[in-house]
Amino acid sequence: MNALPALPPQLVAVLLLTGSNIIMNIAWYGHLRFASAPLALVVVAAWGLAFFEYALQVPANRIGHQVFTAPQLKGIQETLSITTFFLVSTLWLGEGISLRQLAGFALMVVAAVLIVGKGS
């Protein structure tokens, strides 16, 4: 039986960080859809989701640090955080993003790309 080839650590790190950021954005913003829910309940629910976020984030950083520097990992994480925020905001909350907000987020992504890029 053929085993699947091992995925490169760069890909594993990005996939884990993507999952982590989806979960965290849901924990941070998903409860806004349920404004009438008691605050204590949404705090506990967010903490519960944060456990699963950490279960992906910590291995992502451990694996990713084999091939990326810590600042590069943070740049990747921030880019994914912005991207997954768009998904949660539009698909879960049904809120659009204005052109001004999009431009601001694009500048954040540019900053993250500068951090992740090779060179001094």
Q: How far apart are alpha carbons 83 and 27 in whole angstroms?
A: 15
What percentage of the chain reaches a pLDDT higher than 70? Answer: 94
- HSE-CB of 115 using CA atoms within 13 angstroms: 18
State the helix-helix crossing angle for 99-116 and 70-87, rounded to 10 degrees. 160
Q: Which pLDDT does position 68 carry in this prediction? A: 94
Residue 1 has a pLDDT of: 52
Reply yes or no on whether the pLDDT at 111 is more than 90: no
Is the pLDDT assigned to residue 25 strictly greater than 90? yes
Distance CA 109, CA 103 (A): 10
Q: How far apart are CA 39 and CA 34, in angstroms?
A: 10
- Work out the percent of the chain whose per-residue pLDDT is above 90: 68
Report whether pLDDT(108) > 90: no
CA torsion angle for 100, 105, 106, 110 (degrees, to 10)? 140
Could you tell me where the beta strands, DSSP code E, fall in 40-114? Answer: none
**How far, in Å, CA of 16 to CA of 35, rounded?**
30
pLDDT (tens digit, 9 = 90+) per residue, 59-104?
Answer: 999 999 999 999 999 989 988 998 899 889 999 999 988 899 889 9
